[in-house]
Homo-oligomer: A and B are copies of this chain.
């Protein structure tokens, strides 16, 4: 399903991630001030998660490629639901842009692509949570038209 993803001054490819992308995807997840201490499982654990994501068409694990390098990722999930007059939600998790690409417009292009994908699959509302320590991310989302209307609660199980 690779498609062009147009940035201001060049074109990358946006694609469904494959199992072969996993080492690069995990490296992207770990290349982050908050994410750094959270990654470190064996590759086999990431492979099992990948298989579960890939097996359910409600999910799309995205890899943005610059030639052979994966420079961006996010996981999109369609969440059907009764609330808000039976609105399907587009849940966005695990967004990362490679440090080398920051400021390139890649993040904004990925979110525009995600919104199109959600609309094409019947979603009426997109949602994500972001750590309260990520002030730069908050400004980015607000510039893209997102609103922090909700508190994001988490609890270990």
Contact = CB atoms under 8 A, between A and B. Distances in A.
Interface of A: 22, 25-26, 29, 35, 38-41, 45-46, 48-50, 52-53, 56, 58-59, 61, 75, 77, 79-86, 88-91, 93-94, 115, 118-119, 123-132, 138, 141, 144-157
Copies of this chain, count: 2
Nearest to A148: B151
A26 B81 CA distance: 11
Contact of A85 (B39, B126, B130): B39
Contacts of A93: 79, 81, 83, 89
Contacts of A155: 115, 125-127, 144-147
Given A29-B82, A53-B81, A94-B83, A127 B149 contact: no
